[in-house]
Structure 1
Amino acid sequence: MAETDTYLTIKAFSQGVYKEKGSTFIALAHPVRSAAEIKTILEETRKEHHGARHHCYAYMLGQKRDTWRTNDDGEPSGTAGKPILGQINSNGLTNVLVVVVRYFGGRLLGTGGLIHAYRSAAAEALKNCEIAEMKVHDYFNLEFGYPVMKDVMKIVKDHDLLTTNQNFEEICRITVRIASSTTERILGLLSRIEGLRTTFLYTD
């Protein structure tokens, strides 16, 4: 479960362009949620920009910003993916993929020139993004007997919890959404209700 209530990400796709000594660097910034989604975007980008010499990228995933990767795609090690990731980090973003495609202009830029070019292109794409602060929630399934439904629903109402998938029969089941920073406290209150079972579903 997440430790903080919010994280920063981008709202929608955006791009930026940087040109240096005949080479064109096109940065494509995508909001993403999974490695599978990233794989699909990379495949589509390579098809769309099949004439580009390099398709370098970096991404960051997870509310804790603990899943990331960089790829230099044939450029000298550390000259492309790392500076792209640096721009993601400098903006404190997560759930974002930035791909920079390079159309080679015939002149070598050198290590310093490449780092500057990939960093500048990524920075331009992210500058053109609208950054959103997203609230983190934990989702739980609650299962309880009908006689204690009033106690459960009082906690739900008092703490303004969103409920879905409600099924009120002899055994009642509902899904609740809890702000992550209050999860421990809410679960403590729910644990006092006799016979209630909580099952963690996911964090979003």
Structure 2
Amino acid sequence: MPTPQEKQWEIYTPAEAEIVEKKSRFIASFATVHSEEEALAFIQQKKKEHYSARHNCSAYIVGAMDEVKRFSDDGEPSGTAGRPMMDVLEGANLHNVVAVVTRYFGGVLLGTGGLVRAYSSATAEGVKACTLIEKTSGTKLSITTDYNGYGKIEYLLREQEIMVLDTQYDVGVTIHCVVEDHQRDVETKITNLTAGTAKCQWGEWMSYGIVDGKVVYL
């Protein structure tokens, strides 16, 4: 289960990676999912795609607090495939993710240790190939102020490292931002800074990440 101090990551752009171990091919595939049904559907999709493969082993983590964690060895010796794959996903702090490692048997038995290394390595190479996005959660906040207060508030938000989503300029200025839990005292700071002339309105909770300087809703 993630803690507030941990960085949490999701896959933004999925990718595949392949390794070869003693003539066996191990192909790692990934997807971002938000329910167990989506994870199972992706696993079935890969099984159909690689219908002639000997094994399609899987691991997935789903839920805001990682409520659902499952893995499968899909016929490999117990503990040699799904568990090592899950260890890699957990070690990378990945969330809302499903991984499938497809094995095309090359005719040479790898043994328990060899299988663990192969499935771990394939999963790790796949994670490296994906584009990851750091997941941040917070509450939307809309701040309405006059132009005299705008510069002060803008400086405060930068100083507090609060993410600004959008700014609207009209008779006054409305700043839309997202505030993490540990930053919620910003409302009091804005009130004190503007002698109560700026108005704050809290909105919905959201998860987001930053890609190329732009906010991506998760």
**Do both proteins adopt the same fold according to a TM-score greater than 0.5, normalized to the shorter chain?**
yes
1:83: Cα distance to partner?
0.9
1:25: Cα distance to partner?
1.4
Q: Which residue of 2 aligns with 1:56?
A: 57
1:118: Cα distance to partner?
0.9
Q: Which has the higher contact order (CA 8 A, sep 6+)?
A: 1
Separation in 2, partners of 1:120, 1:196 = 49
Change (3 A) 1:139 1:5: farther
1:111: Cα distance to partner?
2.0
Equivalent pairs, count: 194
Separation in 1, partners of 2:6, 2:114 = 39
1:188: Cα distance to partner?
4.9
Gaps of 5+ in 2: 209-218
Larger displacement relative to structure 2 (56-65 or 32-41): 56-65
1:56: Cα distance to partner?
1.0
1:80: Cα distance to partner?
0.6
Scaled by the length of structure 1, the TM-score of the pair is 0.66
Separation in 1, partners of 2:188, 2:65 = 24
Scaled by the length of structure 2, the TM-score of the pair is 0.63
Q: Is residue 89 of structure 1 aligned with residue 90 of structure 2?
A: yes
Report percent identity of matched pairs.
30
1:163: Cα distance to partner?
5.2
Paired residues for 1:30-45 under 5 Å: 30=31, 32-35=32-35, 36-45=37-46
Q: Is the 8 A contact 2:164 2:175 kept in 1?
A: no
Separation in 1, partners of 2:191, 2:64 = 27
Give 2:164's match in structure 1, choosing from 162, 165, 171. Answer: 162
Report the residue type matching 2:117 in the other structure.
H
Change (3 A) 1:57 1:135: closer
Change (3 A) 1:123 1:82: same
Gaps of 5+ in 1: none
Separation in 2, partners of 1:4, 1:88 = 18
Separation in 1, partners of 2:33, 2:176 = 22
Q: Is residue 98 of structure 1 aligned with residue 102 of structure 2?
A: no
Deviations 1:80-117 (A, max 9, x none): 11111222233343343321011223444332222122
Separation in 2, partners of 1:114, 1:9 = 26
Partner SS state of residue 51, structure 1: coil
Q: Is residue 203 of structure 1 aligned with residue 210 of structure 2?
A: no
